[in-house]
Structure 1
Amino acid sequence: MANEKLEDLLAYRGSSPKPDDFDAYWARALDELNRQPLTYELVPASFQTPLAACYHLYFTGVGGARVHGKCVKPLRNNGQGPGLALFHGYHGGSGDWFDKVAYAAHGITVLALDCRGQGGLSEDMLTAKGTTLKGHIIRGIDEENPDKLYYRNVFLDLVQTVRILKAMDGVDPDKIGVHGCSQGGALTMACAALEPSVKLAVPVYPFLTDYKKAWEMGATTSAYEEIAYYFRFMDPLHNRQEEVFRKLGYIDIQHLADRIRAKVVFVTGLADPICPPLTQFASYNKIRAEKELVAYPEHGHEYLPYLSDRVLQEMLKL
């Protein structure tokens, strides 16, 4: 994939439509979450280290799903330290304990969420019409009620994760960061938008943004493949194309980006063949909070040198 010029990326404002009732949709969703008890269970993990206490954390999310995350607390903590919520890539899970212990060794409490029905232990209780074969973007798209979209509940889990983290002993609720790559990058932005108490967001090449543009650009063989799959098998004449992209607008992070109040360190690879940079900049360009762009011209959807170092440094500044 040839790199687009940075000046063109920085001028792009997105093309996927925003539903007219977008704000009311998320106000209603957050109202449902606000009625959810902020209770959780900590179960000691078999993995432990001299520097941190490691737990499996469970809470009940909207719709009654049992949601899981990995919680790592510093053992050497003088007073209240920062808290970091971590969000994983598409289809994956919360990962190993090792990277979380590295944060805890610096006095940072970590809570890494497993997205519902993906590669971790969280349940997906959603019952919705339509195909269940290809992926989560299109899950619920055939329902008349957009409250049935899969990512609505996941986005609410993000907020609940941060609220739990803020309430933990040893965590300063005014020093909360969020971070993730790909799907995790999108969830980082959605979390910071829907939970304004977040102080730092480090999204990395975010997914779930500007769906129509991703489809138009031919991003049909990887992250966004399920959109092309949906049209090919469920709507081959594209009779519902306008409706589909309008509904996807409810879970498009570019439409949430202007709500973010946290400092944003936005990281991207300008040669990304998986999540086209143009779609990512649809979200970046709508952030109105303090923001910094960290661009890797020759890198794509892959390991980015020095990224983990930068995240730790930013967290220690909180």
Structure 2
Amino acid sequence: MPTDMSLPNLKTYEGSSPKPEDFDQFWARALRELDDQPLDYELEPADFVSELAECFHLYFTGVGGARIHCKYVRPAKKTSKGQGPGIVMFHGYSCDSGDWVEKVTYAAHGISVLAMDCRGQGGRSEDNLTVQGTTIRGHIIRGIDDPNPDNLYYRNVFLDTVQTARILMSMDEVDPARVGAFGLSQGGALTVACASLEPRIAVALPVYPFLSDYKRAWELDITTSAYEEINYYFRFFDPHHLREDEIFNRLGYIDIQNLADRIQARVLWVTGLADTICPPSTQFAAYNKITANKQLMVYYEYGHEYLPYLADRALQTFLTL
């Protein structure tokens, strides 16, 4: 059972990456900007048809004017029973919002689903961010050399998750007090970010989340993991690490471990102790900071991969909304 730390040590690990001194002000300013965004959206019927659900492409305008795409699936009118629960779904790195089928399963159980495409990745959402500096090999470092930390790519994506949740909560068929968040890998990180920045999220289910404890990931020298772009950045732009402290402090603005203590939702956190893509210690750095009601689901011999029975457990969890 490979792991970067023993399980007892993981359960007490508090992280290695710094938290910027103005972190709270940074996110307060970001949320004020988001508050000025309307919750308007457009619905386009999807080609996918099901007797159990109504399927749509949903578009909204995110911060900075980017057009954001989601897949929206709600229970069919003939089975709808007024306001019901909903979940926002977030996808893995460089992927998209996924197939309709998994969402129809939730709709068949009375749960509306809004699944967001991240800006400029594998789906239909656009990335209109203009930044100074490199964009080499990934999104973590997008905006890292810009004088304004508000131009970090993930700052806007984190805000998109909140806007997605707010839109779902505004729908006539959804009870705003019964909305959850769900995602794997990058989607797990966005689940944490969403639940941290939107306190009305009732249940959060992050699975082996990404975007946490960047310095720890770098210290583990994992150049083939999801964090490899940090290594590339230093190789090309700071080979003597003269700016190491500055870089990791800047990344602290978009580090989910620094947001996790804001979560008010009930949390089911899923991790695999053999994960070499998002090492367990980086995940526990965030999990250990959650003060809300939380439960840890450990897959001892599993890594960043298919986890048996997870889909069943997730559905059962969201049926409690």
Normalising by the smaller structure, the TM-score range is: over 0.9
1:277 aligns with 280
2:312 aligns with 309
Is the contact between residue 225 and residue 276 of structure 2 (CA under 8 Å) also seen in structure 1?
no
1:235 aligns with 238
Superposition pairs of residues 4-19 of structure 1, within 5 angstroms: 4-19=5-20
2:142 alignment partner AA: R
Cα deviation for residue 2 of structure 1 reads 2.0
2:260 aligns with 257
1:135 matched to 2:150 = no
Q: Secondary structure at the match of 2:315?
A: helix
1:178 aligns with 181
1:220 aligns with 223
Q: Percent of aligned positions with the same letter in both sequences?
A: 68
1:149 alignment partner AA: L
2:99 corresponds to which of 77, 83, 96: 96
Cα deviation for residue 222 of structure 1 reads 2.5
Cα deviation for residue 290 of structure 1 reads 0.1
Separation of aligned partners in 2, 1:116 and 1:55? 19
1:118 alignment partner AA: Q
Cα deviation for residue 48 of structure 1 reads 1.1
Is the contact between residue 219 and residue 276 of structure 1 (CA under 8 Å) also seen in structure 2?
no
Cα deviation for residue 131 of structure 1 reads 1.6
Separation of aligned partners in 1, 2:242 and 2:209? 29
Q: Secondary structure at the match of 1:33?
A: helix
2:61 aligns with 60
Cα deviation for residue 238 of structure 1 reads 1.0
Cα deviation for residue 275 of structure 1 reads 0.5
Separation of aligned partners in 2, 1:267 and 1:104? 23
Cα deviation for residue 79 of structure 1 reads 1.3
Q: Secondary structure at the match of 2:319?
A: helix
Cα deviation for residue 133 of structure 1 reads 2.6
Q: Which runs of 5 or more residues in structure 2 are unaligned?
A: none
Aligned length: 318
1:159 alignment partner AA: V
1:28 matched to 2:29 = yes
1:198 aligns with 201
Is the contact between residue 219 and residue 275 of structure 1 (CA under 8 Å) also seen in structure 2?
no
Separation of aligned partners in 1, 2:81 and 2:18? 48
Separation of aligned partners in 2, 1:317 and 1:284? 22
Superposition pairs of residues 70-85 of structure 1, within 5 angstroms: 70-75=71-76, 76-85=79-88
TM-score, scaled relative to structure 1:
0.99
What's the C-alpha RMSD, in Å, of the aligned pairs? Answer: 0.8
Q: Deviations over 1:131-171 (max 9, x none)?
A: 22300000000011100100000000000000000011211
1:117 matched to 2:120 = yes
Q: Secondary structure at the match of 2:234?
A: helix
Cα deviation for residue 246 of structure 1 reads 0.2
TM-score, scaled relative to structure 2:
0.98
1:2 alignment partner AA: P
2:97 alignment partner AA: S
1:26 alignment partner AA: W
Residues 174 and 51 of structure 1, relative CA distance in 2, 3 Å threshold:
same
Is the contact between residue 271 and residue 298 of structure 1 (CA under 8 Å) also seen in structure 2?
yes
Is the contact between residue 55 and residue 71 of structure 1 (CA under 8 Å) also seen in structure 2?
yes
1:155 matched to 2:145 = no
Separation of aligned partners in 2, 1:180 and 1:258? 19
Separation of aligned partners in 1, 2:59 and 2:223? 35
Separation of aligned partners in 1, 2:302 and 2:221? 20
Q: Deviations over 1:119-139 (max 9, x none)?
A: 000000100112223000000
Is the contact between residue 193 and residue 257 of structure 1 (CA under 8 Å) also seen in structure 2?
yes
1:106 alignment partner AA: H
Separation of aligned partners in 1, 2:160 and 2:96? 14
